[in-house]
Amino acid sequence: MQPNQFGAYGPWAAAHGEKSRAKSALRPARFKTFAAWRKAAIAKTWECLGAPELPKTSKVTVHAVGEYDGLHFEKLSWQLPWGPRTEAVYLRPKHVPKGAKLPAILALHDHGGMKYFGWRKVAQVEPNLHPILKDLRAQCYEGTAWANEAAKRGYAVLCHDTFLFGSRGVKLSDVLPVVRGNTTDVAADEPSEQVNAYNNWAGEHEHLVAKSLHCAGMVWPGVYLREDQVALSILEKRPEVDASRLACAGLSGGGLRTVFLAGLDERIRTCCCAGFYSTWNDFLLYKAWTHTWMTYVSLLPQHIDFSEILALRAPRPSLVLNCTGDPLYTLSEVKEAGKRGAAIYKRAGAVKDFKLSHYPGGHQLDQTMQAEMWSFFERTLA
């Protein structure tokens, strides 16, 4: 037996998962048409997500308007039916011709083990950058704020804090003393030691969040999917945005959010998932220990593989970017996921609209990878 994270139970559990999917009525080959499979698979996925009701698009408050990095920016917030206000930043080129309609990108921030920060990981509207964010950008994005780079290329960009990140985070003063322990909320000047302590606490808190959601009949992906859908509605209603040319993209946790949003919301015309593409088998046997509770949807693996969630959007274009040295995934399983995704796109008659590209390096969306993303968006949002 090859060593795995589940020990002697690993082969049994993996065989059970594959057998369940093989027996499922949702196998694509059991449907006469791709459209019939897609409709049934989407319905089952929503059922397993147990998502809260989609809120009506709430009133957006503009807190600040300015210029930075040659761009126009707006700091925004809105109130969802659950949790604190959602903070976000909207970016676009400084000069937009009257009546022009811009293609738009919903920029989905990563997880990174840093729940204290949300949109600030990938967008910037002031010169001072927190040293923790500077290190994150250097490690994962080759020093860039990629949401700003998108706006410089002519896109309207919205980046918001999602469930449990940034403004949407859990305040320690709101939880039981036995749960918060000796950790305190971060002071206004954001000292690094307090930020790191909060991030460590928030990581340990994830299993309690997942348990609580399960007791409410929900799973984590269903919650952030709804929050991302609300943000998409806010973005598409901007007067300078062409609602027929919407994209989403993200690295890591942002790639995971891309899988669900792009797979299940037909408004997304094109997408780029970076650093989050593999199989349920990979998570089961080898890599769940590297991943957040944000990933898992109870019982969905009985019906479709993780790789097939993104493929629910076929024939609409999808780009997946992977690094061959990424320690969060098993490369052979990433390639297997690519084969499964490509097979579904072939069934949809859209072979050329699915692409999985491999790059050297670790867990990142560096500038070379970003260049392929920009080229892909230029072609598929034309």
From the list 361, 285, 295, 277, the residue with the least C-alpha distance to 323 is: 361
Q: Which pLDDT value is given to residue 56? A: 84
- Predicted confidence band at 58 (pLDDT cuts at 50, 70, 90)? confident
Query: What does pLDDT average to over the chain?
Result: 97
DSSP state of 69: T
Pairing of strands 86-93, 156-160: antiparallel
Question: Using an 8 Å Cβ cutoff, are 160 and 86 in contact?
Answer: yes
> Nearest-CA neighbor of 4 among 295, 292, 288, 323?
288
Length of the chain: 382
Q: Going edge to edge, which strands form the sheet with 86-93?
A: 61-68, 71-78, 86-93, 156-160, 102-108, 241-251, 268-274, 318-323, 354-359
Domain boundaries, the chain: 7-52+266-368, 61-223
Over the stretch 230-266, which tens digit does the pLDDT of each residue have?
999 999 999 999 999 999 999 999 999 999 999 999 9
Phi and psi torsions of 106, nearest 5°: -90, 110
43 CB-near residues (< 8 Å, 6+ apart):
none
What are 215's two structure tokens? 């007791």
- Residue identified by tokens 């920029």 is 107
At residue 87, the 3 state secondary structure works out as strand
Residue type (1 letter), 145: A
Count of C-beta atoms within a 10 Å radius of residue 217: 9
- Residue 209 confidence class, pLDDT cut points 50, 70, 90: very high
Among 66, 62, 65, 86, residue whose Cα is nearest residue 76 = 62
Nearest to 115 by CA among 65, 183, 69, 60: 183
pLDDT tens, 80-113? 999 999 999 999 999 999 999 999 999 999 999 9
Q: Which residue has the higher pLDDT, 197 or 29?
A: 197
CA proximity to 373, closest of 248, 253, 285, 268: 248
The pLDDT-based confidence of 203 (bands split at 50, 70, 90) is very high
For the residues 290-314, what does the mean pLDDT come to? 96
Sign of CA dihedral 20, 23, 25, 30: positive
CA separation for the pair 243, 377 (Å, rounded) = 15
CATH number of 61-223: 3.40.50.1820
Task: Kindly write down the DSSP assignment for every residue of 247-274, as one continuous string.
Answer: EEEEETHHHHHHHHHHHH-TTEEEEEEE
Please, what is the Cα angle at 106 between 100 and 107, to 5 degrees? 125
- Percentage of the chain beyond pLDDT 70 is 100
Confidence of residue 330 (pLDDT cuts 50, 70, 90): very high
Mean pLDDT, rounded, for 355-370: 98
- pLDDT confidence bin for 146, thresholds 50/70/90: very high
Mean pLDDT across 13-19: 95
Structure tokens at 306: 């993780």
pTM: 0.97
Look at residue 382 in the predicted model and tell me its pLDDT: 82
